[in-house]
Amino acid sequence: MPPRKTPTERQKRLGAELRRMRMAAGLSTDYAAGLLGIDRTKISNIEAGVRVITPDRLRTLVCNYACDDQAYMAALEAMAADRERGWWERYRGSLPAGLLDIAELEWHAARVRTSQVMHLPGLLQTEEYARAIFGAVLPRLPRLEVELRVAHRMERQQIFERDRPLEYVGYIHEAALRMQFGGRKVTKDQLNYLLSASEREGTVLRVLPVEAGALPGAGHATLYAEGPVPQLDTVQLDQAHGPEFLFAESQLAKCRAHLDWMDEAALDPARSQDFIRSIARDL
């Protein structure tokens, strides 16, 4: 199979895990290439996510890398075996690849936790609210680009409608609830939609009121996606240049600490619903 030109974040992550294991075992690319009977450059391409690896070849590498974690091995094999094109692939070439990577990350996550300070959670936005957010981007996006991004964002919500809906916890700062993107009516409709979503099984919303005081971190919108095993957890941060994906253990630990702090400081789900309802009522 020819090399990929632009691997997805998920494909790059699989390669990065293989590279991490090889280096932890103190083995060279020449040694790994010898195990598979291929050129060493192909090992480098596999580890960069550029070249496909079959589950059988992956197991050969992992076993020789002295990995004895069966659950971890099985999760990596599942990633290697997954060749199905997700719905987000329809947008490839029309939208930035990072937006498609977010959708793919959510789709394969066991659970997602997010924190929002300025915008409301992307997975729970109404069409008009999303359109207002994308319409505020600088430099301004062409109308077609805005509509494509809105359509993609709405399709992300199908993750709550599949046979095994996504388990989701969202921490929302009061500031995000009070920002009137699109005006009062759009904001009111959006808050009412949040209330409706919070009644859905598996979806929990927690509000962090301004009275909680200072909060840790720089206020980035954060998505923590739990993988099938802890080694495959991923953090996605919103940045001005686009989404950033992190998975070093120190980065994961820092993000978990921030989310755990919010879990302690935020209102419980019932009081959070009352808080959102009171803001919507005043609009």
Query: Are 260 and 225 contained in the same domain?
Result: yes
* Same structural domain, 230 and 102: yes
pTM score, whole prediction? 0.95
Residue type, 22: R
pLDDT value for 1? 56
Q: What is the pLDDT of residue 219?
A: 75
User: Residues 118, 48: one domain?
Assistant: no
pLDDT at 3: 64
Output the pLDDT for position 239: 84
Q: Which CA distances in Å does 205 have to 118, 135, 188, 236, 256?
A: 15, 26, 17, 19, 17
In a shared domain, residues 66 and 118: no
Pairwise CA distance, residues 158 & 76, whole Å: 25
- State what percent of residues in the chain have pLDDT above 70: 98
Q: Which domain holds residue 221?
A: 96-124+154-282
Contact 190, 179 (CB under 8 A): no
The answer to whether residue 46 is domain-embedded is yes
Tokens of 11: 């494909």
Asked if the model's pLDDT at residue 46 lies above 90, the reply is: yes
Q: ∠ at Cα 239 (171, 112), nearest 5°?
A: 35
> Total structural domains in the chain?
2
Instruction: Mark whether 237 and 117 lie in a shared domain.
Output: yes
Could you say which of 81, 106, 135 is where a domain stops?
Answer: 81
Domain identity same for 189 and 105:
yes
48 and 168 both lie in a single domain: no
Can you give the pLDDT at residue 83? Answer: 86
**Domain boundary, last residue among 22, 52, 81:** 81
What average pLDDT does range 101-107 have in this prediction? 98
Indicate whether 10 pLDDT > 90. yes
Question: Coil, strand, or helix at residue 32?
Answer: helix
Residue 62 within any structural domain of the chain? yes
Among 81, 116, 136, give the residue marking a domain's end. Answer: 81
Mean pLDDT across the stretch 263-272?
97
Asked if residue 190 and residue 109 are part of one domain, the reply reads yes
How many angstroms separate the Cα of 232 from the Cα of each of 15, 71, 132?
A: 12, 11, 34
Q: Residue 57's pLDDT band (boundaries 50, 70, 90)?
A: very high
Asked whether residue 39 falls in the same domain as residue 116, the answer is: no
- Longest Cα–Cα distance of the chain, Å, equals 68
Residue with tokens 């809105």: 150
- Cα 27 to Cα 161: distance, rounded to the nearest angstrom: 44
The reported pLDDT for the residue numbered 216 is 81
The β-bridge partners of 222 are 115, 237
Residue-wise burial string across 14-43, b where 16 or more C-beta atoms lie within 10 A, e elsewhere: bbbbbbebbeeeebebebbbeebeeeeebb
Statement to judge: residues 72 and 119 lie in one domain: no
Residue 16 lies in a domain: yes
Residue 261 is assigned to a structural domain of this protein: yes
What is the reported pLDDT for 4?
67
On whether residue 4 sits in a domain, the answer given is no
Instruction: Report if residue 135 sits inside a domain.
Output: no
Strand locations in 88-241 (E): 111-116, 167-173, 203-208, 222-226, 234-239
Do 103 and 215 lie in one domain? The reply is yes
Rounded to 5°, angle at Cα 64 from 60 and 65: 115
Residue 236 near residue 225, CB atoms below 8 Å = yes
Residue-wise pLDDT tens digits, 201-230: 999 999 999 998 888 876 789 999 999 999
Asked if the structure places residue 39 within a domain, the reply is yes
Residues 77 and 207 in one domain: no
Q: What is the average per-residue pLDDT within 59-72?
A: 94
The answer to whether residue 143 is domain-embedded is no
- Say what the pLDDT of residue 2 is: 59
Average pLDDT, the chain: 95
Confidence label for 137 from pLDDT (cuts 50, 70 and 90):
very high
For residue 40, give the CATH number of its domain: 1.10.260.40
CATH of the domain at 236: 3.30.870.10
- 262-277 average pLDDT score: 97
